[in-house]
Amino acid sequence: MSPDIGKMIRDARQARGISLRALAGQVGIHFTHLSKIENGQDRIGRDALAKIAEELGVDPDLMLGEAGHQSMPFRLLGHIAAGQPIEAIEDVETFDLTRVFDPHSHFLLRVRGTSMILDGIKDGDLAIIRHAHTAKNNDTVVAVVDGGEATLKRFKKVKNSVTLIPANDHMTPMEFPASRVEIRGVFVGLVRTEVKSSRFWQ
């Protein structure tokens, strides 16, 4: 098992604003065991890791692959036409998300809600997040306000004020003193998980 799996769990947990004790209780393991896992001092079983991934909204395949439990990438079987018919299957090649996004510097979060719907980010999608503690104006970020639950919003900073802007006409921007807002990551891509309209954005 890679020693980085503990860091991946810790980063995803902190990005969600979930305490160590709370996550341990939610997945049914002792918090001291989880602490050792996060610090690379103990191993974790496949079932427990899958529960943690589900609780954190992280793609379990990515975590299982990083932990050495699963290594087979997706197979890309060719092209399919949305207009004129073509050969249903052409060339077989593998597609590994980790070739595009380094799992040591990125993590996945399951989107909940529709606040970013106008940016094409839907409820249930997997947001690909790059670890970061700073952001540029107009970046879409994972932000935590007052140590609470994480939120995905567009970022704008003017002097000592930060505005978190939804991409939804029915929601209003939220403005806070910069000292109250902590950046946990920057949105860099999307995995659509709907069966009828699966797509990958970068």
Where are the domains positioned within the chain? 4-66, 111-201
DSSP string over the chain:
--THHHHHHHHHHHHTT--HHHHHHHHTS-HHHHHHHHTTSS---HHHHHHHHHHHT--HHHHHHHTTS--PPEEE-----SSS---S----EEE-HHHHS-TTTEEEEE--SSTTGGGT--TT-EEEEEE-S---TT-EEEEEETT--EEEEEEEEETTEEEEE-S-TTS--EEEEGGGEEEEEEEEEEE---STT--EE-
The pTM of this model reads: 0.58
Class of domain 4-66: mainly alpha
Query: What pLDDT sits at residue 131?
Result: 86
Given the residues 35, 153, 161, 196, the one annotated as active site = 153
Is 153 a residue of the active site?
Answer: yes
Given the residues 35, 51, 71, 115, the one annotated as active site = 115
Determine the CATH number of domain 111-201: 2.10.109.10
Query: What pLDDT sits at residue 65?
Result: 57
pLDDT tens by residue, the chain, 202 residues: 455 778 888 888 888 888 888 888 888 888 888 888 888 888 887 778 888 888 887 766 666 655 444 444 545 445 444 444 444 444 455 556 666 777 777 888 888 888 999 999 888 888 888 888 899 999 999 888 888 878 899 999 999 999 999 999 999 999 999 999 999 889 998 887 664 444 444 4
Query: What pLDDT sits at residue 118?
Result: 93
